[in-house]
Structure 1
Amino acid sequence: MRVHFWSADMAGSAFYRAVMPSMALTWLGHTSTHGFRLPPNWQSYDTVVGCRVAQTDPSRMWLKLKDEGKRLVLDLDDDYFHIDPSNVHARRVWDTDMLGRLAHNMQLADLVTCCSEPLAAVLRDFAPRVEVIPNGLPAQYLGHPRDYQADGRPVYVGWAGTSSTVAELPETVRALNRIAQYGRPGGVMVRLVGIGPEQAMGLGLRGRQVGALGWVERLEHYLHAVSEFDVWCAPYRDSAFNRAKFPTKWLEASVLGIPLIASDVEPYRRVIRHGETGFLVRREHEWGKYLKRLVDDPDLRQRVGMAARGEASGSIMQALHHRWEAAVRVPTKVAA
């Protein structure tokens, strides 16, 4: 079987919804490629998985692929029908025309795939067949060794995000600034991945103990950067857009064995057992409370991180590749 994952771009979501599943299908012996352009020999492919196909020219090509008899799978990893008003740029991009094309392209598809059941519930208003395939990571990351004791070195408290999630970060700014000044032996360093120093300062993060790495292009480099976190913070507001998301920060932190502190919102409350596999924050002051507990107690970091790693063992691509294979497979024609 020949499959191409056609992504709208190669930003963060493409790693999970194009690069990872494409790689997983090659493990099963299929020819699978990915990119933000169709391959020159696209006519020889059996299936095209279109990630967020909604712009004008790609939509025309989507219709042509349908007319050519290709199996079409349209994949979404966010609820573009309920973009948060604070994300002005995204609201401008996903205007009425864009959403109309997206809805039409979903109807043309043989199958719509997405990353979460709450998102599937939204998409079923627009498409007859919707299937949930969660995000996953390769199994080798489960074996990444960790130094939970941090003797003689700083404890690293981290946050990672994008332009669409940076609006969530202010909820933790006060706690991050305070923990960066905490006087434990070796100190505490705050590390931000996905935004630069100027943006961090604009949000109110201050001090020599706060570092901002900026956008990291490749997935393996990103995972290497966040693997240095000893504690991971994932703030989210309770919005329709966020409720439809996959808990990707839980996946990344858990596979790497890093204890996660997350807002008590869907989808994180669905995957975190409070105090066992992570911590859920209901009120702003609790960010500082749980940060201090984890910074002070290396045994707690290890216990929570290892419990979370055990929970994440079912979210590896080696456990999900057959689900992608079933989604992209062209049905066998039954002889008359």
Structure 2
Amino acid sequence: MASILMIIEAKIATTYLLEQIMGACRVHGVYHEVKFLNELRIDDITPNTIPMFVRCADPLVLSWAQLLVDANRSYVYYIDDNFWRIRGENPLALYYRHPIVRKSLEFTVSHAETVIVNSSELATFVSRFNTRVAVLPAFFDFSLIRGVAQSAGEEIRIGFAGSPSRVDDLDLIAPLIEPVLKRFPKTIFEFAGVLPRGVAAGARVRFFPHIGDYATYIRFQASRNWAIGLAPLVDHEANRGKTDNKYREYGACRIAGVYSNIPPYRNIVRNNENGILIENAEELWLRALSMLIESPKKREEMAELAFRHVKKRYDLPEVSHEWASLFVDVDRRRSKNIRPLANGGFGWRKIFRKVQRYAIYIIVTYEEGGVYLVARKVARRLFVVA
């Protein structure tokens, strides 16, 4: 039996999905618990426990990784984004560019017994820090959308859902909206979580707020009955290292998808069969959308092929045995010559890391919105604590 302690910074879509796959691993003899990084205690890591840090780069993770290395304890690191290559001046990019965050990230990745990724592109990049990289298949939990009722009507809905950090990718889509709406009167664009720059919500361009809970988000997406799903990705290193999550979601929801012709989609989408792969040129995107709008039969056939492929390749029970096998192997390989997790000095180290993390938080917040935003967020935290 392998015992995995998932250590997370926050509840996000990635952590929800990982909890699903870890739950599916139970039938293969792998058990797990979840703990927030800022609540982690030495007593949580027993001699038989294998910690798995999930996307952690907070300065606190550096203290824990150093403690585990000193005690000859094995741990796993999971990462599904190239944090080193995030572009732009948004808060996420600023955060991962900070030297202390980089140091925490690189030390923790470098000393992991195994680094888990879902993309061969990301595996190649991460291997410069650690050659012990495992590429495990991504997955989709079909139980999330079982019984979801779809809205009906004659509208041809074209949709995209994502975080505000995806706004650069939507620059590829923005110029298409007006000509598509003008040419095809039944079309509607729907965006959830982010709007393209220069595009305003209106009667035929709908905007829905970001949904933080993944299960709610995926049920929302399934319920909207999108005829076409958009998956634009600007071609750069960070995007090439992403997982094919849009393909899995669109396929599972029986949505015909149009995808930028770069990894991760290039490796999985069969052009004009289970999706459309398109170069990032405005006229090509417009041509692909027009073809799908004009051909309901093609959309249905494409959506059905994608659904069958996702069901066969990504269904949670199908991939859980590969994940479980890795954890069993890590458990088997871990050193039995371990030392106690020494508490001496760790308390001061942890306090120092907390000071660092709050300093980074203030710096990033200031860059985002100046003194006013810093004051507002600090006041909000003090109010919550009080």
Q: Report if TM-score (shorter chain) is over 0.5.
A: yes
Structure 2 counterpart of 1:92: 94
How much has 1:67 moved relative to structure 2? 4.4
- Aligned to 1:103, what secondary structure does the other structure show? helix
* Aligned sequence identity (%): 18
- Aligned to 2:189, what secondary structure does the other structure show? strand
Q: Assess if the C-alpha contact under 8 Å between 1:5 and 1:34 holds in 2.
A: yes
* Number of residue pairs matched by the alignment: 325
Is 1:221 the counterpart of 2:220? The answer is: no
Question: What TM-score do you get using the length of structure 2 for normalisation?
Answer: 0.76
Structure 2 counterpart of 1:119: 122
Aligned ranges 1:227-306 → 2 under 5 Å: 227=222, 228=224, 229-282=226-279, 283-306=281-304
Q: Assess if the C-alpha contact under 8 Å between 2:159 and 2:189 holds in 1.
A: yes
Aligned ranges 1:150-165 → 2 under 5 Å: 152-165=153-166
Name the one with the larger helix percent. Answer: 2
Q: Which runs of 5+ in 1 are unaligned?
A: none
Q: Distance in 1 between matches of 2:208 and 2:263?
A: 28
Q: Distance in 2 between matches of 1:101 and 1:333?
A: 23
Q: Distance in 1 between matches of 2:234 and 2:318?
A: 31
**What amino acid is the match of 2:235?**
D
Structure 2 counterpart of 1:7: 8
Aligned ranges 1:16-55 → 2 under 5 Å: 16=17, 18-37=18-37, 42-44=44-46, 46-55=49-58
**What amino acid is the match of 1:125?**
R
**What amino acid is the match of 2:26?**
T
1:74-96 superposed Cα distances (whole Å, 9 cap, x missing partner): 11111122222x24423321123
- Aligned to 1:252, what secondary structure does the other structure show? helix
Q: Assess if the C-alpha contact under 8 Å between 1:5 and 1:22 holds in 2.
A: no
Check 1:48–1:302 CA distance in 2 against 1; reply closer, same or farther (3 A cut). same
1:199-249 superposed Cα distances (whole Å, 9 cap, x missing partner): x37532453111111211222211112212221011111101111111111
Check 1:87–1:234 CA distance in 2 against 1; reply closer, same or farther (3 A cut). farther
Q: Distance in 2 between matches of 1:114 and 1:87?
A: 25
Q: Distance in 1 between matches of 2:285 and 2:134?
A: 35
How much has 1:260 moved relative to structure 2? 0.4
Match of 2:74 among 65, 71, 74: 71
Q: Which runs of 5+ in 2 are unaligned?
A: 337-386
Question: Aligned-residue CA RMSD in angstroms?
Answer: 2.7
Q: Distance in 1 between matches of 2:335 and 2:110?
A: 25
1:12-67 superposed Cα distances (whole Å, 9 cap, x missing partner): 33233x32322222343543223534566513461111012222122212333444
Question: What TM-score do you get using the length of structure 1 for normalisation?
Answer: 0.86
Check 1:30–1:275 CA distance in 2 against 1; reply closer, same or farther (3 A cut). same
Match of 1:137 among 137, 140, 143: 140
Q: Assess if the C-alpha contact under 8 Å between 2:144 and 2:215 holds in 1.
A: no
**What amino acid is the match of 1:114?**
V
